[in-house]
Amino acid sequence: MPQNAILVWLGLLVVVVPIACFFYFHEMTRHGRTILFVMAGNMAQHEVVYKSFMEVVKAHAEDTLQIRTFVVPDASDKLGSAAICDTVLGTSADCIVVVGRMVAQVLVALAKKRGIHTPIVFIGADKPVELGLVDSLDHPGGTVTGLFTTAADESLCGRLLHAALPKVRSVLLPFYVTGDGYGAVASRAQAIKHYLRSFDILVTVVGIDGLADSLKRIEGLLLGHDIVMTLEDDTLNETQMVGCAKLARRYHMGFFSGIKHALAEGALFTYALEIRYSTEAALELVKKIIYDKASPGELPIVRLGSSREFIINQKRATELGLTIDVDAVIVKINADPALECVRGRVRVV
């Protein structure tokens, strides 16, 4: 073989082989990664998060990740949670994903006590510094990072309604008093009432004591109102959503619901949970840790402005003879600092 040809081949080997080795070992490191997913069995929302996380993993072609699931039967049972978390921490893994503040607190405390350094990513544990999960939001320290959704303005649903339907004159806002243990729903209802009052919009806030006759009571109050609104985290919304939607249809009214599924029942608007925002952010943290070798303690806590979408049902608006200028709605949302969490998350169906 001529000398020049030998030199060319040697040159190619010097360049190609290292590149080939780099890609080979890079791909090898992406295989066989094990993620332990920890959630509470008595929290319905944890199951939603788990399903969303699995869908996000699949959608992002992260099929090299092996997910093992551990379920704590009752998040409020610290001894039971500790037993499950002890098993989790004794299982070989590249990363642990944990849902909720109670389970996360038990898991992280136990990991610190046992001196276990497996990276941990939490989802939905607000106030992580106060819970003892991390040292600070910007510099977590240790082996823990994660994400949570920041609290929205209490009057947010009223602001969204006015942005979409500025000519609305009256709103009926029932909520289930008995199920509102901490008064959070009542507080939001009053904030909405106060905000809409400044536009001469009547808001009738009605506390419902029992679910059995709630629809009859609501029906008796419908006349004289344009919109029925139910709020997120309200048991009335979760239990009576279909009935409220049917009542709104019967009386040719709009229905603003805090549950996404209400769209199928004819809701005009929903400000509803879309958990994929949280699970996508969690997966990004996991990937940085296991693929980019990032230290969890150096990854700032992700603070999501919202994990929800404002959804406008144009078909229902047409049925009601309403014209909704979506572009104008977006302009109003962009101009209102209290609606920052909804920017880029308005969807029309």
CATH 3.10.450.50 is the classification of domain 156-268+313-348: no
b/e sequence 262-291, b meaning 16+ C-beta within 10 Å: bbebbbbbbbbbebbbbbbbbbbbbbbbbe
The predicted-structure confidence for 134-186, as pLDDT tens digits, reads as follows 999 999 999 999 999 888 899 999 999 999 999 999 999 999 998 887 898 99
* Locus of tokens 């991390």: 134
State the CB neighbour count (10 A cutoff) for residue 223.
9
Three-state DSSP at 338 gives: helix
**Tens of pLDDT along 265-314?**
999 999 988 889 999 999 999 999 999 999 999 999 999 988 889 999 99
**All CATH 3.40.50.2300 domain ranges in the chain, comma separated:** 31-149+277-304, 156-268+313-348
**How many helices and strands, by DSSP H and E, does the chain display?**
11, 13
Q: What is the pTM of this model?
A: 0.73
Mapped onto helix, strand or coil, the DSSP state of residue 42 is: coil
How many CB atoms are closer than 10 A to CB 45? 14
Using CA atoms, how far apart are residues 56 and 45, in angstroms rounded to an integer? 16
Q: pLDDT tens, 66-82?
A: 999 999 999 889 999 99
Walk across the sheet containing 254-257 and list its strands: 202-208, 170-176, 227-229, 254-257, 269-273, 308-312, 346-348
- Strands 308-312, 269-273: pairing kind: antiparallel
Measured torsion, CA atoms of residues 189, 195, 201, 205, in degrees rounded to the nearest 10: 10
Q: What is the pLDDT of residue 328?
A: 96
CATH for 31-149+277-304 is 3.40.50.2300
Q: How far is C-alpha 349 from the chain's CA centre?
A: 20
Mean pLDDT, to the nearest integer, of 195-216?
A: 94
Distance CA 47, CA 8 (A): 59
